[in-house]
Amino acid sequence: MRLFQSGPAWLLVPFACAAYALSKRESCGQWDTIPAAPYTIYQNLWGAKDATSGWQCSGLDYQSGDLVSWNTVWDWQGGPGQVKSYANIELKFNARQLSSVSSMPTTWRWSYTGSNIVADVSYDIFTSNSPDGSLAYEIMIWLAALGGAGPISSTGKPVATVEIAGTTWDLFKGPNSSWTVFSFVARTEQTSFNADLLDFFEYLIHYQGMPAAQYMSGIAAGTEPFSGSNAQLTTSEYVLSIH
């Protein structure tokens, strides 16, 4: 993902939210949030200005403790190659050094419907050199690259291929502003994903030179749409914890 942008709110098509059945809690504003403790659902339509037309709404469908079901519905046209948003659910916590984390178990079951979808389904985690420091690394874990979507990369080619959580991933590396982005892209869609996210960090620490002293304070999971029609990402089950 590219870092959140600020500025004037982008106006959504007025009838957008009437196009589907409303969720238990739903939101259609560019920067709207939906509380779902311990998580927060973010609309985050940060790239909407690059679309010639479009809209997006997100909603919380169900919650029982740490288990959440949620969805995001969208239609984005124009601006080929440009990400329009990152609707996501994020777990925030006090800054933790990677070396102090023992596990990050997660489950994510999802499905996607729509036409001509170009998008990814991904976890997104930023790290820094100190608890309040500037960004140093961004780690993305793409469970799907739909319609030819591709990650940030200096060369357009993977720097490594690795087996993690029973799945083969191509690892891409490239710059975004002042930080380095590592993107693990699954070779096959992972629509029912169970893993310990710490395994991805341990690989980067041991084989790609990422310092174990890095701090993180949040983990997001969502979708980055480039373009498509009548699209809906439905998360039927999502759980994440940090130990």
φ, ψ (nearest 5 deg) of residue 81: 85, 0
- Could you tell me if 74 and 228 are in contact, meaning their C-beta atoms sit under 8 angstroms apart? yes
pLDDT at residue 23, as a whole number: 54
Active centre residues (catalytic): 138, 224
Give the pLDDT mean for 32-46: 97
Distance separating alpha carbons of residues 110 and 103, to the nearest angstrom: 22
Mean pLDDT estimate for the chain: 92
Q: Flag whether pLDDT at 17 surpasses 90.
A: no
Better-predicted residue by pLDDT, 7 or 150: 150
The 10s digit of each residue's pLDDT in 171-200 is 999 999 999 999 999 999 999 999 999 999
Distance separating alpha carbons of residues 144 and 122, to the nearest angstrom: 7
Task: Show the domains of the chain with their CATH numbers.
Answer: 16-123+191-240 (2.60.120.180)
Give the pLDDT mean for 18-24: 48
* β-pairing verdict for 87-97 and 215-240: antiparallel
Give the pLDDT mean for 6-22: 38
Binned at pLDDT 50, 70 and 90, residue 16 comes out as very low
φ, ψ (nearest 5 deg) of residue 206: -85, -25
Give the pLDDT mean for 134-159: 97
Q: Flag whether pLDDT at 229 surpasses 60.
A: yes
Distance separating alpha carbons of residues 200 and 222, to the nearest angstrom: 18
* pTM score of the predicted model: 0.91
Binned at pLDDT 50, 70 and 90, residue 25 comes out as confident
Binned at pLDDT 50, 70 and 90, residue 106 comes out as very high
CA dihedral defined by 153, 159, 162, 168, rounded to 10 degrees?
A: 50
The 10s digit of each residue's pLDDT in 62-97 is 999 999 999 999 999 999 999 999 999 999 999 999
